[in-house]
């Protein structure tokens, strides 16, 4: 397992890769000190693409992903990747798109378990009323990600 720490405008991200694919990107409160990293080309590419995303220059990520989860979670995460930059979809819309129109809550749970934040843009999934609901890193970060995208679309 390769691990990198990335300082984003919203806090530190821990990026994990294994066997040539990203398996995890998540917000962390702090990084190990001293943080002397020798990054693989994949982790360097992930950090570069995150730089571009936060600068408003990247709308889509081009990285190999291997999020670990159930087959249902995999379907949800795959569908979430189809949400366009600066757009949102509801849990109900995602449920319908994966052929499980009554599975809104299960979609919400899968969204919450997304191991690859930002790159699999679960921050773009909102409640039926249009309100921001649930985000593992907190609603403030979800709101800031959506605002960043709106400002750079």
Active-site residues: which are they?
122
Rounded Cα–Cα distance for residues 13 and 104 (Å): 28
């Amino acid at each position: 397992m390769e691990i990198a720490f990335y300082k984003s405008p919203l806090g530190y991200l821990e990026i994990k890769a294994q066997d040539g694919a990203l398996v995890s990107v998540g917000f962390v409160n702090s990084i190990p000190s001293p943080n002397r990293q020798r990054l693989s080309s994949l982790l360097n590419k992930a950090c570069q693409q995150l730089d571009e995303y936060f600068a408003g220059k990247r709308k889509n990520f081009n990285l190999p992903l291997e999020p670990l989860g159930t087959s249902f979670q995999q379907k949800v995460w795959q569908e979430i990747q189809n949400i366009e930059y600066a757009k949102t979809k509801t849990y109900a819309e995602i449920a319908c798109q994966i052929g499980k129109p009554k599975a809104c809550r299960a979609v919400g749970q899968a969204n919450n378990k997304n191991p690859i934040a930002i790159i699999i843009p679960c921050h773009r999934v909102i409640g039926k009323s249009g309100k921001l609901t649930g985000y593992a890193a907190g609603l403030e970060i979800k709101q800031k990600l959506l605002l960043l995208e709106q400002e750079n679309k």
